Structure 1
Amino acid sequence: MKLAIKELRKKLHISQADFAKAVGVSMRTVGSWERGESFPNAEQVWNAALALGCSPNEILSWDGEENEDSQITSDEREIVDNYRESSPEWQQNISMTARAAASESKRK
């Protein structure tokens, strides 16, 4: 199993020390996870996901893809977070705008 902790942490410009503190583990533990020498337990995966603003599945690379292209960018994460915090009416507007932009981009 390949954890995506290091990639996600670096994309968000979070230091190993800050991440370790947010998750409630030592820097040594984080380093061990990032090198694939050990793995977090369920609570640690959950805390890591909270600290990185992603799902536990993303931490565990359970999206069916193992390549870096499958990782969500910080801009994409911001869009998803804003969408989720919006009212249903605004969610519909956001979806329509995204579809229109994607369609227009394909024509060029």
Structure 2
Amino acid sequence: MSLRDFRKKAGMSQMELAKRLDCSLGSVANWENGKSRPNADYIWKLSKVLEVTTDQIFLALNTMKIVNK
């Protein structure tokens, strides 16, 4: 699953997720599109907000990196 899939499964818009993480909408969009990666603090926050493990977040981010090459 991708980061976008986890967000949608949680029933959140990008804006809602950004507010919950206290970050910008652009950051969430860039993470989902593989243009940038969240730092360790945001990976932990993403796992808590989206109710998935940090391993699942890492896998989603690494899958996005491979797909975008």
Q: TM-score range by the shorter chain?
A: 0.7 to 0.9
Q: 2:44 aligns with which of 43, 46, 53?
A: 46
Q: Which 4+ residue blocks in structure 1 deviate beyond 3 angstroms? A: none
Distance 1:7 1:57 in 2: 15
Unaligned 5+ segments in structure 2 are 64-69
Instruction: Identify unmatched segments of 5+ residues in structure 1.
Output: 67-108
Query: Which is bigger in relative contact order (C-alpha 8 A, separation at least 6)?
Result: 2
Tell me the SS of whatever aligns to 1:60: helix
Q: After the TM superposition, which residues 24-43 of structure 1 pair with which residues of structure 2 at under 5 Å, given as runs?
A: 24-43=22-41
Larger Rg: 1
Q: Alpha carbon RMSD of aligned pairs, Å?
A: 1.7
TM-score (norm 1): 0.52
Q: Partner of 2:67 in structure 1? A: none
